[in-house]
Amino acid sequence: SQQGEEDPQALSIQEGENATMNCSYKTSINNLQWYRQNSGRGLVHLILIRSNEREKHSGRLRVTLDTSKKSSSLLITASRAADTASYFCATATDSWGKLQFGAGTQVVVTP
């Protein structure tokens, strides 16, 4: 069964706009990871945030984690057409542990 729920399921924006997607989960976690998948290909790792962290940045990406609400958000700033992809959150309940994935958010960025 999936640990996470993501919303929205789909998001359509124009280049230059920001995209925000949310992930909620059900049980306590060790860490939460965000991935990008282009057209059903392999997953690209974006960011890992640990349960004792609240915010992380990587380039145009910003991830927040609120363990009290069991939720995380991924913000992509100044989006580009190349950001068009599906984005997944995945939670691990322990170190090196197996991941449980959310349903994913499909993002389309139009020029």
Partner 1 sequence: SAVISQKPSRDICQRGTSLTIQCQVDSQVTMMFWYRQQPGQSLTLIATANQGSEATYESGFVIDKFPISRPNLTFSTLTVSNMSPEDSSIYLCSVADGTDTQYFGPGTRLTVL
Interface with partner 1 (CB under 8 A): 2, 30-31, 33, 35, 40-45, 48, 50, 88, 90, 92, 95-96, 98-104
Smallest distance from the beta carbon of 86 to partner 1, in angstroms?
Answer: 9
Alpha-carbon distances, residue 89 vs 10, 14, 15 (angstroms): 14, 23, 23
Smallest distance from the beta carbon of 95 to partner 1, in angstroms?
Answer: 6
Contacts of 72 (CB under 8 A, 6+ apart): 22, 23, 24, 25, 32, 34, 49, 63, 64, 65, 66, 89
If the CB atoms of residues 45 and 80 are measured against partner 1, the closer one turns out to be: 45
Per DSSP, the chain holds a count of helices (H) and strands (E) of 0, 11
If the CB atoms of residues 17 and 108 are measured against partner 1, the closer one turns out to be: 108
Smallest distance from the beta carbon of 109 to partner 1, in angstroms?
Answer: 20
The two three-digit tokens of residue 12, written as one number? 């359509």
If the CB atoms of residues 2 and 17 are measured against partner 1, the closer one turns out to be: 2
